Amino acid sequence: MLLAAVSSVSLVGGVANADDKTVREAQARFEEGLKRVKAGDFEAARMSFVQAYVVLHKPDILWNLALSEEKSARPLDALAHFKEFARQAPTDADRARAQKHVDVLMAQTGHIEVQAPAGTPLLLDGTTGVGMAPLADTLDVTPGHHVIEGKLAEGTKALSVDAVAGEVARVTFLVVGPDRPVASVAVASTPAPEGSAPAAAPSTGAPAADASARDDARGTAPAAKLVTTTALGAGAVIAIGVGVYFGLQSRSDASTAAAYRSKEPSDYCVNPANAGCAQWNNAVQAQNRDATASNVLYVTGAVLAVGALASWFFWPRQSETRGSAVWFVPAAGPSGGGVMAGGRF
């Protein structure tokens, strides 16, 4: 229950360095929060408990604050406050009660274990300072992409990491020599532990793959696939479109040649000196030339279209591209076309 048997607890006694008026106002905010909880307004209740807890650092207020945060869809805040309550809980039963909420919220949030030389200042997503290494616990974060910065001796190093709900991603700032600090990230994730910080991963003495390189590896294959497919598809559309133009032009040339031929006797162009012979020859040659160009462009367009479909449906997955490269090159000539393919394995 959200009220957790605190509605009858007096929170005034034992508050150091707070005058009576401040204490009374904090008590009023706490009671106001309880009323808002009963009304189902958990966000407003959260604000009241925050104001009360600033003055009265009591476990009962902290418990209600954490529960109101959980009810108002603030899992990171709730997780932090339930962990704090578990550390302050007066009894084992209270700790066990808080741990149940911690376990649920750990499965809803992502977690990052940071390894860095002792005393390294750490920053999360460019704005939030998270303290200095070594950290006592994992960083609890929203699932998704995050950047960890470590201010090492040679300068600031930034690592990217993708946090998955319920799992721990490990980020490591390694030092491979006395004057050569190197930042790296281990992408392997393990399920988040229930209520305790994960043990530090043993060092192998060698840096993991560079984080920026891993990010590039994740993005390059899909980007290359899209660019290749788009380029081949656009080429196919252009080739077929120009082929249609030349096909129509060939028909026009055929009509022109037929018109010249219909105006002359049956021995037309037997004598090269005939005045209309040159025009007729030009029209016939243009017809043949345009027809050939149209056919070649149709074949080229078909080849490019097949290449676009092949690159879209058969592009190697990232695991298949390591150590190998496959390429397709459309080829076309006056008499036909095809696809040249090759690879490195």
Q: What pLDDT digit, counting tens, does each position of 50-99 carry?
A: 999 999 989 999 999 999 999 999 999 999 999 999 998 889 999 999 99
Domain ranges of the chain: 20-106, 110-209, 215-344
The C-alpha atoms of residue 33 and residue 49 are separated, in whole angstroms, by: 6
Residues, the chain, total?
345
Q: Is residue 321 a contact partner of residue 221, using CB atoms and an 8 Å limit?
A: yes
Q: Which residues of the chain have pLDDT under 50?
A: 1-2, 4-17, 181-183, 187-190, 195-219, 266, 319-326, 332-335, 344-345
pLDDT at residue 283, as a whole number: 72
Domain 110-209 - what CATH class? Answer: mainly beta
> For 58, how many CA atoms within 13 A lie in the half-sphere containing its CB?
21
pTM: 0.49
Q: Is residue 147 a contact partner of residue 162, using CB atoms and an 8 Å limit?
A: no
pLDDT at residue 76, as a whole number: 93
The C-alpha atoms of residue 225 and residue 218 are separated, in whole angstroms, by: 12
Superfamily of domain 20-106: Tetratricopeptide repeat domain (1.25.40.10)
DSSP 16-78: TT--HHHHHHHHHHHHHHHHHHHTT-HHHHHHHHHHHHHH---HHHHHHHHHHHHHTT-HHHH
Q: Is residue 11 a contact partner of residue 28, using CB atoms and an 8 Å limit?
A: no
pLDDT at residue 27, as a whole number: 94
Helix boundaries (H) for the chain: 20-38, 42-55, 59-71, 75-88, 92-108, 211-262, 277-314, 318-321
